[in-house]
Structures are given as structure tokens and as C-alpha cells.
């Protein structure tokens, strides 16, 4: 199958293209909704690569839909429908681009922070701990290793990058300054509740959810969960049976892509290189396996 790298929905208003998703404004039931379309683009080291991963957008969307259903009793979410047959009539001629990889969602005022929940030490959290003994300013016990389980899950927010660069971890006090004391407390409560529920499910499937990031917005009805949820692009899932603190853990994400780019000594400057077929295929396989393990069923691409 061919990777979908860019959507074209005729006169539908395109609001922007992210690293993976194309975002459109769509009138729906008298109100303006948003259409999120997950393409097969893949990024690494903050650059979108020239090669996509066929079916990746469908896998990510179906994983998000699975979690929205599983978590909906904890917090409302932005989903209106993912059934193309229920989309506004002007979108239906583009079903070949939208089927399985798109969501019609409520428009919300998004909070300007990434709500990160961590149960294990990895990534930027490990880097800060190694240097300072803290994560987002939260002091941790001595002697933890890369991949260690934390004494309890932590809420470690980050600022949202506006230019495609790395997000920056911030303290909870800074979060209170950005969104207000009451909302900061609620975002922390929701993030940790969602993480704990998701980690319990992952454990039941033989996986570890090391960390993840959530995005929340506000509508007239209150705070809702938005964007993608608990996908391999926004989360670290590890194989529980092989977990061993002391180094980077094999994960269900684009590690094959990162490893290949490191092997060819790419300078991490544009233009990004294309991927060999075998790297794309192995990466697709990891995403497919993540869906199968989490949802308990296979997906047809």
C-alpha cells in the first residue's frame, strides 16, 4: 500500500499541517467542528522524513479511538464521530483519504501546556534526573537508573513548542502561572487518573506504559481530552517481560527509524533523508503490534 503523506479535501478550509496530522475547519450542526486527519508522515529528531509509513495514520487513529472509549468515564473527550458516513456531505467524496484515519471533533480552547505523566524514568526525565536528581523540579530518590520505575506516577508538564523544536519541561508552579491554580490542579488530577487507568490496561496486555502526554481543552461544558491519546507517537510502551532498568528499553514506536538515521550519521538538518523499505516495514510492524496488543485485535489496513 502507498503512504498518504498529504491530504487534499478540495475547498474544505485547511487550518494547518502538523508533523503527522492535517487539521481542517468543518461546519457541523450549525457549529464549527474540526477534522483531524492522521497522515502516514513520520518525524524524527524534529524533522518530517521524506518517506512515510504506510497505514500509520490509520493505526494511530484507531488506537486513539480505543482509548477514548476506555477512558470516557474519567473525562469527556472531543470526539463527535469517526464514521465518514456521518460526516458533513462535502467531506464524503474524500472518503478514500479519510476512512479509518480521521476524526470529526469538537473545537475547544486548548491549554498551552503538554500534560505529561510519568511512571518510569526515561527520555528528558532521565536526563534531568542524571544532572540534578529531579524531574521538573520534583526531587527523586538517589540511585535510580534509566528505565527505573518511579515511587509513584508524576505529573511533569511541558510548554508547547511553537516552532517544531523540543518542548521544555516546566515546574508545577510555572504551570499554575500559565493556566491558573485551579486548572493546573485539575489537569494534574486528570492526567494522573488517565495514566493509572491506561497503565493498568497496558499491564494486563504485558506492556509497560512508561510515560505519555495528554492534551486538554475547554469547551462551554468544561475540560475535555483532545488530540491523540496514548499512541506510540505520544507514549513510551515497553515490553514488560524484558524490562530491565539500566539503559534504553526497546519500545513500540519509531525506534527503528531513529536507529537508522543515527547509523547513517545524518546531521539532523533539513532536508531529512528517505527511509529504506525494510526500515519502513519494520516500523509499520511495530505500530501494528502495538495496536494488536493494546486493543486485543488486529487492524485491517
| pLDDT by residue, tens only, the chain of 301 residues | 799 999 999 999 999 999 999 999 998 877 889 999 999 999 988 899 989 999 999 999 999 999 999 999 999 999 999 999 999 999 999 999 999 999 999 999 999 999 999 999 998 899 999 999 999 999 999 999 999 999 999 999 999 765 555 678 999 999 999 999 999 999 999 999 999 999 999 999 999 999 999 999 999 999 999 999 999 999 999 999 999 999 989 898 888 898 899 999 999 999 999 999 999 999 999 999 999 999 999 998 8
Q: Do 116 and 161 lie in a common domain? A: yes
Listed in sequence order, the residues at least 6 apart from 182 whose beta carbon sits closer than 8 Å to its beta carbon are none
Q: Would the pTM of this model clear 0.85, i.e. be above it?
A: yes
252 within some domain: no
Residue 1 pLDDT: 79
Q: Pick the last residue of a domain from 40, 74, 107.
A: 107
Q: Do 76 and 138 lie in a common domain? A: no
Q: Give 222's strand partners.
A: 219
Packing angle, helices 181-204 and 56-71, rounded to 10: 110
Q: Do 100 and 155 lie in a common domain? A: no
Q: Do 121 and 156 lie in a common domain? A: yes
62 within some domain: yes
55 within some domain: yes
The CA distance from 189 to 175, in Å, is 13
The CA distance from 226 to 209, in Å, is 19
Instruction: Please list the alpha-helical segments (H only) found in 145-276.
Output: 172-179, 181-204, 255-263
163: exposed, middle or buried (Cβ count in 10 Å: 0-12, 13-18, 19+): exposed
Q: Which is nearest to 4 in space by CA: 51, 63, 65, 61?
A: 51
* Contact (Cβ atoms closer than 8 angstroms) between residue 214 and residue 188: no
Q: Do 165 and 224 lie in a common domain? A: yes
- Counting the structural domains of the chain, the total is 2
- Tell me which residue range forms the domain holding 85: 1-107
Amino acid at each position: 500500500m502507498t503512504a498518504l503523506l498529504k491530504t487534499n479535501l478540495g475547498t474544505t478550509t485547511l487550518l494547518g499541517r502538523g508533523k503527522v496530522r492535517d487539521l481542517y475547519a468543518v461546519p457541523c450542526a450549525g457549529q464549527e467542528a474540526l477534522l483531524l486527519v492522521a497522515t502516514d508522515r513520520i518525524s524524527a529528531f524534529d524533522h518530517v522524513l521524506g518517506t512515510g509509513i504506510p497505514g500509520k495514520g490509520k493505526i494511530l487513529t484507531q488506537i486513539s479511538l480505543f482509548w477514548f472509549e476506555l477512558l470516557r468515564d474519567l473525562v469527556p473527550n472531543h470526539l463527535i464521530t469517526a464514521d465518514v458516513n456521518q460526516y458533513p456531505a462535502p467531506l464524503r467524496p474524500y472518503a478514500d483519504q479519510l476512512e479509518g484515519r480521521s476524526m470529526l471533533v469538537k473545537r475547544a480552547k486548548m491549554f498551552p501546556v503538554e500534560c505529561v505523566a510519568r511512571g518510569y524514568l526515561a527520555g528528558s526525565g532521565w536526563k534531568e534526573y542524571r544532572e540534578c536528581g529531579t524531574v521538573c523540579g520534583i526531587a527523586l530518590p538517589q540511585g535510580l537508573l534509566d528505565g527505573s520505575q518511579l515511587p509513584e506516577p508524576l505529573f511533569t508538564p511541558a510548554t508547547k513548542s511553537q516552532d517544531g523544536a523540543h518542548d521544555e519541561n516546566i515546574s508545577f508552579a510555572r504551570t499554575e502561572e500559565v493556566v491558573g491554580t485551579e486548572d493546573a490542579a485539575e489537569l494534574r488530577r486528570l492526567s494522573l487518573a488517565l495514566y493509572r487507568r491506561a497503565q493498568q490496561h497496558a499491564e494486563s496486555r504485558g506492556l509497560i506504559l512508561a510515560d505519555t502526554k495528554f492534551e486538554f481543552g475547554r469547551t462551554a461544558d468544561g475540560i475535555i481530552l483532545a488530540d491523540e491519546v496514548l499512541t506510540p507517537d505520544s507514549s513510551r510502551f515497553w515490553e514488560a517481560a524484558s524490562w530491565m532498568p539500566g539503559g534504553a528499553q526497546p519500545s513500540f514506536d519509531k525506534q527503528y527509524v531513529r536507529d537508522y538515521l543515527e547509523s547513517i550519521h545524518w546531521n539532523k538538518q533539513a532536508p531529512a533523508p528517505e527511509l529504506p523499505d525494510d526500515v519502513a516495514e519494520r516500523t509499520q510492524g511495530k505500530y501494528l503490534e502495538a495496536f494488536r496488543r493494546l486493543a486485543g485485535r488486529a487492524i485491517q489496513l
